[in-house]
Amino acid sequence: MSKKITKAVFPVAGLGTRSLPATKAVAKEMLPIVDKPLIQYAVEEAIAAGIDTMIFVTGRNKNSIPDHFDKSYELEKELEKSGKTELLKMLRELLPPHVTCVFVRQAEALGLGHAVHCAKAVVGDEPFAVILPDDLIEDGSRGCIKQMVELFNQQQSSILGVERVDPKETHKYGIVEHTETAPKVGRLSSIVEKPKPEVAPSNIAVVGRYILTPAIFEKIENTGRGAGGEIQLTDAIAALMKDEPVLSYEFEGNRYDCGSKFGFLLANVEYGLLHKEINQEFADYLKQRVAKI
């Protein structure tokens, strides 16, 4: 019997050190791209894929994330009083009524593998998605996770979202080696966390999108600390590959690394140009600004 993806895990306990000082007191996932925080884009991507249970693995100083998805009676009352019906409608539709949010605490930052394992009790014996909000992916239609869910429905295997990166940048990513089985799809033969360019098996990098079978939890439990002294999800996936197929998928769309200052600025520019309310005014400004260089 084919299983469906109904749950998504959002590991959001990280400190956001690449974005300091902005993230000293503000969760990095709450940094806005135009007018929505990163975490909202990630949740909307999951909802578009048919996922209805959002599992947030949080840490200290992350209260703004549950607050964002909670009902704000005072704000709604003020908007209603002021006749701001469109804003009120937008707030009330932030989460569809069929969507459930669950918050799990990661008491100690021990790596992505550990963060995913924190969601085990909620995920149960089901396949699930993992979305890293730092990696904002825009494809103009389906969304990255929906693409991967469609592939999972056919293959019923774990899937890693990947893209080709500059070979000089392999030390920043988990890097895979695969055998292509279909256009944009490959079966993994190896995966290594942040290899130096001279020893990297390829330039095919894992980005912040995964679909994993529940077998990953046992592999995480038996995974020691790896790169950076953390429990790496990459190492657990390498162990999983010995027991079952793990696929790579070169997704359609543009990824913006919003954990980096440049990627964050780039995302704001690109999403500003897509925003129906300001796109033309913003495009005109950019043309004028570039003309002055």
Q: Which tens digit of pLDDT belongs to each residue from 42-84?
A: 999 999 999 999 999 998 878 899 999 988 888 989 988 898 9
pLDDT at 287: 95
As to burial, measured by CB atoms within 10 angstroms (0-12 exposed, 13-18 middle, 19+ buried), residue 223 is buried
Nearest in space to 38 (alpha carbons), one of 27, 46, 30: 30
Residue 157 has pLDDT above 90, yes or no: yes
Which tokens belong to 279?
């796109």
Residue 141: pLDDT over 80: no
Mean pLDDT in residue range 227-251: 90
Q: Which helix (H) or strand (E) holds 44?
A: helix 38-48
pLDDT, position 223? 83
Amino acid in the structure at residue 59: G
Q: What helix, strand, coil percent values describe the chain, rounded to 5?
A: 40, 25, 35
> Running DSSP on this structure, what letter comes out for residue 59?
-
Residue 95 has pLDDT above 80, yes or no: yes
Question: Cα 92 to the chain's mean position, in Å?
Answer: 24
Question: For 7-291, CATH number?
Answer: 3.90.550.10
Q: What is the pTM of this model?
A: 0.93
Per-residue pLDDT, averaged over 234-245, amounts to 94
The residue length of the chain stands at: 293
Query: What's the pLDDT at 227?
Result: 65
pLDDT at 1: 67
Nearest CA-CA partner of 138 in 32, 258, 49, 254: 254
